[in-house]
């Protein structure tokens, strides 16, 4: 809204200004009062600070190189030269892929700086071929330590070649030709593999292997067995105190000691009539071990459980094996019983077997 004065009031204001114009203080005060006007909130000036504050990218920690340079300057040991950097030309010389994207001026400088026929490798270090040629020349005067340096050079080259061949291998490469038991399918001991397969149920081989590992660990950590002189192990030359140190050999001795030498087969009508004759049949090594393992597993399954868990049956089998080693298992009686029947029926061997 615009304020308009009447002509009479406009004349009076001019008279007042003309009368007060002669006195400077009154004139100045009135002019200042008339010049003042109301200032809105948007037009208020912001407060000014004497020292401006730090921005988000200011007062940061110095770089590691700068700290090292400052520390070296204080201690007097010297530090990295912060002012000296890597020229862009050297970076472009190392990075061939970025040379095409460089400015044309730099590309021309790089072409001029690398003359044609210049070598791309360093010749500061002597080559082995040059050293060998110098070594073969008898007329050349060499220092006394030249032979030592030459031998050290050859040893260093041989070591680097061996490291390059065996690079990426924790252990040494196997010698050729490979032994017959190095195949993946034959990496386990035969008796361990047979015991595992006989212990497997429902085709769960991994579970049987886990149980076999528990059994071998129990044999390894068990106390040395107290051998019964009436039921000794098959190999008496090996000391019993060292058996737990070799669990596979320990398992082999236990199974072979209790394994029967024969089996009894009943055959009807062998002697005429309907009478069945018992005929002893000799067994091979795998058959003997299979029968012994089946006896041990049968005796272990009849044992009372000692707790619960996945390793319960494996622990019972390990306890039965330790009982066999000390002559306290009932498997020995089954072996003795079969041998007695075989000795008593040895006269039936003359009959034809199927």
C-alpha distance from residue 204 to each of 12, 166, 201, 208 (Å): 120, 38, 6, 7
Task: Please check the confidence at residue 15 and state whether its pLDDT lies above 50.
Answer: no
Average pLDDT, the chain: 76
SS3 category, 194: helix
Task: Please check the confidence at residue 66 and state whether its pLDDT lies above 60.
Answer: yes
Average of per-residue pLDDT across 201-209? 93
CB 219 within 8 A of CB 247: yes
- List pLDDT tens digits, range 135-178: 555 555 555 555 666 676 667 666 655 555 556 677 777 778 87
CB 92 within 8 A of CB 98: yes
pTM: 0.50
pLDDT of residue 196: 95
pLDDT of residue 320: 94
**β-bridge mates for residue 280, sequence order:** 264
- List pLDDT tens digits, range 286-337: 999 999 999 999 999 998 887 777 889 999 999 999 999 999 999 999 999 9
State how far the Cα of 12 lies from the Cα of 272, in Å rounded to an integer: 166
State how far the Cα of 24 lies from the Cα of 140, in Å rounded to an integer: 112
State how far the Cα of 319 lies from the Cα of 306, in Å rounded to an integer: 11
Residue 25: which pLDDT band, with cuts at 50, 70 and 90?
A: low
State how far the Cα of 120 lies from the Cα of 312, in Å rounded to an integer: 70
C-alpha distance from residue 269 to each of 63, 83, 277, 287 (Å): 102, 110, 8, 26
307: left (phi over 0), alpha (psi -120 to 50) or beta: left
Residue 69: which pLDDT band, with cuts at 50, 70 and 90?
A: confident
């Amino acid at each position: 809204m615009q304020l308009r004065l009447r002509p009479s009031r406009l004349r009076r204001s001019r008279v007042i200004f003309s009368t007060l114009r002669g006195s400077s203080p009154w004139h100045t005060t009135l002019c200042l009062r008339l010049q003042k006007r109301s200032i809105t909130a948007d037009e208020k000036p912001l407060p000014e600070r004497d020292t401006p504050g730090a921005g988000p990218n200011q007062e940061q920690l110095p770089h590691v190189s700068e700290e090292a340079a400052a520390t070296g300057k204080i201690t007097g040991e010297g530090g990295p030269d912060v002012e000296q950097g890597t020229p862009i030309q050297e970076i472009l010389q190392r990075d061939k892929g970025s040379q095409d994207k460089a400015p044309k001026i730099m590309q021309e400088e790089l072409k001029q700086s690398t003359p044609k026929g210049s070598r791309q490798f360093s010749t500061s270090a002597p080559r082995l071929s040059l050293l060998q040629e110098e070594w073969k020349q008898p007329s050349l005067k060499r220092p006394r330590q030249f032979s030592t340096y030459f031998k050290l050079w050859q040893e260093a080259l041989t070591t680097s070649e061996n490291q390059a061949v065996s690079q990426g291998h924790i252990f040494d490469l196997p010698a050729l030709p490979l032994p017959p038991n190095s195949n993946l399918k034959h990496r386990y001991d035969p008796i361990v593999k047979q015991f595992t397969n006989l212990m497997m149920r429902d085709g769960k081989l991994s579970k049987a292997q886990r149980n076999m590992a528990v059994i071998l660990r129990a044999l390894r950590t068990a106390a040395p067995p107290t051998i019964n002189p009436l039921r000794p192990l098959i190999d008496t030359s090996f000391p019993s105190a060292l058996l737990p140190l070799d669990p596979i050999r320990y398992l082999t001795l236990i199974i072979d000691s209790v394994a029967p030498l024969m089996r009894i087969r009943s055959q009807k009508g062998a002697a005429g009539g309907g009478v069945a004759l018992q005929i002893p049949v000799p067994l091979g090594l795998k058959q003997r071990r299979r029968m012994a393992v089946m006896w041990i597993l049968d005796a272990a399954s009849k044992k009372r459980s000692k707790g619960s868990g996945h390793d319960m049956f494996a622990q019972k089998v390990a306890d039965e094996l330790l009982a066999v080693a000390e002559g306290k298992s009932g498997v020995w009686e089954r072996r003795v019983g079969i041998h007695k029947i075989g000795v008593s029926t040895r006269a039936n061997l003359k009959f034809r077997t199927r």
